[in-house]
């Protein structure tokens, strides 16, 4: 497969923003998106327990580990862009409602007298979700989040269903799980922009189509010949070490196999000129659907 070095973009899908929640609670955290928790499910993922820690992060914070699941137990919990209540830490909107499920990404971190975790809301309603930091409890040790479990739906089997997964649901329910669906790869001479990621294939993917033009491969439904509106775009992030035909089978129906939380995501970095104090390149790559095999349908 021939590719140029890509200019990366952090997301492979544009999703609709979630409706804002209006309830508020005094405290440090600032929220991201409303979460739907009712879903018929099959597998159940239960939050893990961590060994007790010492110092200011003990007690409430000791219960959580990265990749565990938490639940909001107050009305209107805030998420913030940084683990503090300083002016540099933006309040994220909307507030998280009581009962919202959260995928724990990292932590704990001590700041402004609170213990913080970076989390992703787990939504099953197609809502867009952003990551941010929440405090585990008040300074008086009133808990704001607790350990929880999430009922996961059956694995998605269509392009639209995979594209519609929120980032929290993708990691909590299907991280590292092979997902298979049928689609068509089409050439898109699209103008895209975004922060540069390394490895570059996690960003905007470039390949050479049959006409010799450098283009971005997009996944569309079988039988389609052109990309749809921008919100439906699904960039084909092709693992260069995987079972991908060379040349890429543009304009053919194919079987796509891939996963969220690809092993290479742990090495993701932003380009030197695009460092960010609040964003996480590893999380951006973990929540990208990485294609590990493309099988032409005869």
Q: Provide the strand spans (E) within 83-227.
A: 91-96, 101-111, 114-121, 132-135, 145-147, 149-151, 179-188, 197-198, 207-208, 214-220
**Poorest-confidence range of 119-128, 226-235, 251-260, 269-278?**
269-278
Q: What is the pLDDT of residues 141-176, one digit of tens each?
A: 999 999 999 999 999 999 999 999 999 999 999 999
- How confident is the prediction for the chain on average, in pLDDT? 79
Q: What is the pLDDT of residues 173-225, one digit of tens each?
A: 999 999 999 999 998 877 766 667 889 899 876 776 667 777 889 999 998 88
pLDDT of residue 82: 96
Cα–Cα distance for residue pair 187/171, rounded to 1 Å: 29
277 or 64: which leads in pLDDT: 64
**From its phi and psi, is residue 83 left (phi > 0), alpha (psi between -120 and 50) or beta?**
beta
Q: Quick check: 74 and 136 in contact, CB under 8 A? A: no
Q: Kindly report the pTM of this predicted structure.
A: 0.78
């Amino acid at each position: 497969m021939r590719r140029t070095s890509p200019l990366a973009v952090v997301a492979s899908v544009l999703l609709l923003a979630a409706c804002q929640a209006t309830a508020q609670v005094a405290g440090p955290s600032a929220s991201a998106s409303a979460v739907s928790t009712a879903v018929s499910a099959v597998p159940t993922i239960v939050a893990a327990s961590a060994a007790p820690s010492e110092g200011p992060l003990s007690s409430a914070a000791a219960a959580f580990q990265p990749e565990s699941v938490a639940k909001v137990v107050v009305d209107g919990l805030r998420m913030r862009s940084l683990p503090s209540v300083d002016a540099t830490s933006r309040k994220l909107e909307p507030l998280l409602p009581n009962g919202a499920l959260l995928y724990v990404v990292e932590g704990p971190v001590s700041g402004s007298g609170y213990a913080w975790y970076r989390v992703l809301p787990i939504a099953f309603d197609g809502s867009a979700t952003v990551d941010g930091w929440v405090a585990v409890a008040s300074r008086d040790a009133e808990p704001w989040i607790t350990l929880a479990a999430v009922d996961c739906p059956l694995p998605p089997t269509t392009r639209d269903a995979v594209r519609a997964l929120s980032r929290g649901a993708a990691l909590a329910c299907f991280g590292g799980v092979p997902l298979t669906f049928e689609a068509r790869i089409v050439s898109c001479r699209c103008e895209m922009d975004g922060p540069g990621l390394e490895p570059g294939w996690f960003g905007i993917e470039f390949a050479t189509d049959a006409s010799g033009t450098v283009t971005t491969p997009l996944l569309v439904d079988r039988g389609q010949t052109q990309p749809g509106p921008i919100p439906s775009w699904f960039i084909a992030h092709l693992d260069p070490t995987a079972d991908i035909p060379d040349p890429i089978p543009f304009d053919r129906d194919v079987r796509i196999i891939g996963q969220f939380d690809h092993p290479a995501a742990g090495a993701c970095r932003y380009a030197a000129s695009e460092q960010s104090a609040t964003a996480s390149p590893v999380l951006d790559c973990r929540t990208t659907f990485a294609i590990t095999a493309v099988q032409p349908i005869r």
